[in-house]
Amino acid sequence: MNVQLKTEDVRIELGNKGILLKIQGTDKKHRGDLRIGRSTVVWMAGKTQEANGKHIKLERLIELLDGQ
């Protein structure tokens, strides 16, 4: 996977639309987009539109990552 955010001592406050990460594989092929908002995370595989993406509450994502 190739996920990059290049900042240097920059603090970013998420607005209403959050932040959108473009994800590509090591072969440089587009895998999808990940939008991280204040309360929701949305995975949009390939060319999927946000309305058809997989939505999950940020709290639930944290629980999953903590193994609960």
Each residue's pLDDT tens digit, 2-53: 656 667 777 777 777 888 999 999 998 999 999 998 889 999 999 999 999 9
pLDDT at 5: 64
Q: Which residue's entry shows tokens 């895998």?
A: 31
DSSP helix/strand/coil, 20: strand
DSSP 53: S
pTM over 0.95: no
- Asked if residues 25 and 17 have their Cβ atoms less than 8 Å apart, the reply is no
DSSP 35: E
Taking the C-alpha atoms of residue 41 and residue 31, their distance in angstroms, rounded to an integer, is 16
Taking the C-alpha atoms of residue 44 and residue 53, their distance in angstroms, rounded to an integer, is 5
